A and B are shown apart, each in its own frame.
Chain A
């Protein structure tokens, strides 16, 4: 498991404390209770805080699953490198 995925898992656990850790990799708004627009904003803010990055507003619409966010962060990490 990459460092990014571990850190992202912690972000999801913070925003969705009822979500069992083994279900985090499959998390989407349709399967996670309480994943609404407010939760998305909170998730983005937590990710920005924990990763020390800024996320462009237009990128947020792609945050439709844990995997999508992980892909975004991985790509951003590659770009940053």
Chain B
């Protein structure tokens, strides 16, 4: 399903025919910095990722078949780097992705990007619509832009990182994996979540942590309001270490100690009742 503007294919390029190439051993030197089969548009700046591109493909209707065909045969092999162009505001882009590939998409996308994906990595340079990473169960999606509502809804695994801000209901109903938003999030973040991790670098809207259980919610900025029964608490030692590692891996600036965690009041009371849990004494 695509947005009203259909995918365009520039006249100077043609999509790769994956049937004619071996994905595991592309006959293109990545060091050349140009594409495997098409000319690199001269006006388009190369990102760090793009400098390592093995292949470029357009975004025709059957792009998923192409990506699948170019997947590394074994996940332990070197994954091919693919750059996808002309995917402007396509809905359901990379939905159901299950391929050992690294993808870069240099355009804003529509709703449900990487919905129900289970394997693969994608870096999207541009904003995405609602429900990005919806039902994700594996893989990594990095969004260098903003996201709409319902980011990472119903995730059971994988990672979604947004370097801008996101709308309402971020990480609603997640049961595994992690959602990282460098900027702000809207209302009802973490609604009904049953597991996993949500990290918010900026501020959060109303009812943060609504009806959530067992999920780790970390926030650095201000909270408009917490959901009933939720409270703020400082990070424990183990969480400082855990979040610190995550921040390093996700290239998030700052220190883990700048964050607080959002937990159910009951959980905090339980922790306090366990001696040494909140303020461990080493003496």
- Tell me, yes or no, whether A binds B: no
Chain B contact residues, CB within 8 Å of chain A: none
